[in-house]
Structure 1
Amino acid sequence: MNRNQLHDQNLKFVLQQIFNNHPTSRIEISHQLHLNKSTVSSLYNTLMAEGYLTELGLGEASTAGGRKPTLVEINQNYGYTLTFDLGYRHLHALATRLDGHVWQYDRIETKDQSIHEMVTRIQRYIADTQAADTSSNGLLGICFSIHGIVMNNKVVTSPFIKMDGVDLEQVFTDAYQVPVVLENEANLSAVYERDFNGARNLNSAVTISIHRGIGAGVILHRDLFRGEHGDAGEIGRTVASLQFDDAGNARPIHAEDICSEDAIIQQVEEHKQLRDLDRDDIVRLYKDGDPETARILKTFVTGIAGLIYNTMRTLDPDAFFINSPLIEELPGILDDIRIAYRKLSENDDRGIELTNNARLATVLGGCSLITHRVLNLNGYELNFDRPKAKDTEI
């Protein structure tokens, strides 16, 4: 490594230390990175001149005495990033400051809208945030959460929203001249667990996302694993059984045909001869003791436990997380899934936990991804604070 490369690497290490340990000081950075004080001061001054840092005043002197250190943290007023989750029914929009703190969150009705209408709505939202923003550098980057397969920053498949040839990266890069990142929504849920929500001490973890379909975000050796073609984690498409017609032709029944939220709603509608049910209706029927709903959710429990078991045998992660608004509404189902899994696995005791704050998990994962990109810290671990209630009730 030549001198310039070493300087750039040390600059990133210092920025990472300040991001992960706010507030901190130059002397503390020097101790943590085992760099001499003059080197840290030079790197610190570079970051300060570029506007990334803000000083908070003097901290406490060490027990050995001496000068009080100047405390520093990431400059919240440097700029902001945006993440959009392109859901089938809603567009989730999250604006976060450079240090990851939530500035604004909105859920916008988009059911039955085309991708062109959604793009127009997103552009209007960006215009509104730009008008309200008072930061030094404004919009720094945009992340899109896609309910489909993403490869090389392009949407490969989008089963719930027809993309109609729209290249989101090109459209928004051309319009705003900032980095634009696309990622699968289950992958972003996994990134959220790693960087926000307690999985940062796990070497490997799998997050199973249960919405209209089923997907898995896979963290292996602290890195997001996408596979060679972006298909890793598409566990909802695994074959649960085969259905044969009279001619002996086999039709595969996929896991998400049985265990996704849409599949549950469809089954309840068929058995009760109802229409236009949603998640709230399923929750109400289950809590009211409806036997058909209880039976369908029992099948759901068995199916999800089977998916977790098969994934455990394939990837052997440290823990599993489930991102499911339905289970968040009916937390007792999580205990049923754990019991069913332990029966399949002969009492394997690895953790199966529910993702906290499922409403924001995907967009917060996007916040992490785009913040890494903006700070040029891809491959460097950044630890974000979990949003407090006042951050999310906007």
Structure 2
Amino acid sequence: MVRRSMNRNELHDQNLSLVLQQIFNNHPTSRIAISHQLNLNKSTISSLYNTLMAAGYLTELGLGEASTAGGRKPTLVEINRDYGFTLTFDLGYRHLHALATFLDGHVWKYDRIETKGQSIHEMLAQIKTYIAQRQQEDQTSHGLLGICFSIHGIVFNNQVQTSPFIDMDGIDLEQTFSAAYHVPVVLENEANLAAVYERDFNGARDLNSTVTVSIHRGIGAGIILRRDLFRGEHGDAGEIGQTVVSIAMDGAGNAHPVHAEDISSEDAIIQQIEDKKGLTNLDRAGLVQLYQDRDVDTVVVLRQFTTAIGGLIYNLMRSLDPDAFFLNSPLVEEIPDLLTQIREVYHSLAQNDLSIDVTQNARLATLLGGCSLITHRVLHLDHYELNFERPTADETD
């Protein structure tokens, strides 16, 4: 590959992005610290710093401590939280999850809105109402900066390709919301966003490659390879719920594939237990209670689930060879025994100690992944690593 040298404007833009990245990742920091980190002279840093300050991206905090060598105390700076806010919406089957975050990634507001049985048009009306409410409450200088949508389906080129749980009815989310609000609009698969959350928020910052397996109504995998999100050539990478795990034959000799999510998604588990026990309207809370009561049918079904997921992780390890796995599953989060069983199954197959951990704060994982994606876009830092702080309990209540 022939490397093209950058002209002066391109070099300036790259250095401006690097300074902004340093301030985002090392708050608070100072011009002298940035100069040392980027190995750029102080006058260059000051010029770039002044550009970012004039644009409103930064806020100064006062003087820090002088170095051990003496000299003037540095002025500390961080990203200006009051510059504006972003919104991420998770279009779930039963609920619309909404997260408002400030430019520095700190959570402003989280809400869960009942949408079961609603059409996409009714959901969009709720989203627009929610945006209007946040704009009315907003006290930032630039207001709404960008919107991200978490999609339970395949996304390619910022368009929904398949949406098995919600009929999109031909709606183009990017066009609809960018035209209405004149801000960047990003669409991404929910499992991919959970993987971005692990990379940027949740402790996977030192891992090159990870796989986050999301187990909800379906099953998907978010794949991070060499620190980048891997979507495949057509957005289909990670659709592991469609993995064929067996072939069922009917009386006429016709073959019918059985997919992983047909037997191992949370909805499939609930359906199996309802069938065994003659129940209706069983939800996750009821399932957890049955397990805690040591109901025999529930214990058997969940043991089959952990065996299947352990095997699925083993197959993914053989295909992708990541540094670690994460499970984005509220069910596993609520029943820690399941994680232990999944690890046991995997280790019996693989004979290695590859890390398998449950995603902490699974309720917000995809939303916070969306926060990262849209913040990158708003700051024009799509290909730069940004490290976000994990929200506190007070922020996510």
TM score, norm. by length of structure 2: 0.98
Cross-structure match for 1:264: 269
Which residue of 189, 212, 215 maps to 1:207?
212
Deviation at 1:208, TM superposition (A): 0.1
- Tell me how many residue pairs correspond in the alignment: 392
State the alpha-carbon separation in 1 of the partners of residues 32 and 297 from structure 2: 64
Deviation at 1:247, TM superposition (A): 2.1
Cross-structure match for 1:365: 369
State the alpha-carbon separation in 2 of the partners of residues 71 and 166 from structure 1: 46
Which residue of 372, 381, 386 maps to 2:385?
381
Cα deviation code 1:248-277 (max 9, x no counterpart): 211000000110000001000111111111
**Structure 1: gaps of 5 or more residues:** none
**Residues 1:324 and 2:339 are matched in the alignment:** no
Identity score, percent: 74
The letter of the residue matching 2:358 is L
Which residue of 29, 34, 37 maps to 1:32?
37
Which residue of 84, 106, 125 maps to 2:130?
125
Cross-structure match for 1:83: 88
State the alpha-carbon separation in 2 of the partners of residues 293 and 243 from structure 1: 24
State the alpha-carbon separation in 1 of the partners of residues 105 and 322 from structure 2: 27
Cross-structure match for 1:238: 243
Written as runs of structure 1 = structure 2, the 5 A alignment for 1:93-108 is 93-108=98-113
Moved more, 162-171 or 367-376: 162-171
Cross-structure match for 1:11: 16
The letter of the residue matching 1:303 is A
Q: Secondary structure at the match of 2:126?
A: helix
Q: Secondary structure at the match of 2:111?
A: strand
Cross-structure match for 2:290: 285
Written as runs of structure 1 = structure 2, the 5 A alignment for 1:70-219 is 70-219=75-224
Which residue of 355, 358, 369 maps to 2:359?
355
RMSD of the TM alignment (CA)?
Answer: 0.5
Q: Secondary structure at the match of 2:205?
A: helix
State the alpha-carbon separation in 1 of the partners of residues 318 and 312 from structure 2: 10
Deviation at 1:245, TM superposition (A): 1.1
The letter of the residue matching 1:193 is E
Cα deviation code 1:287-327 (max 9, x no counterpart): 11110010000000000001100000000000000000001
Q: Secondary structure at the match of 1:380?
A: coil
State the alpha-carbon separation in 1 of the partners of residues 288 and 166 from structure 2: 26
Cross-structure match for 1:392: 396
Runs of 4+ displaced beyond 6 Å: none
TM score, norm. by length of structure 1: 0.99
Cross-structure match for 1:295: 300
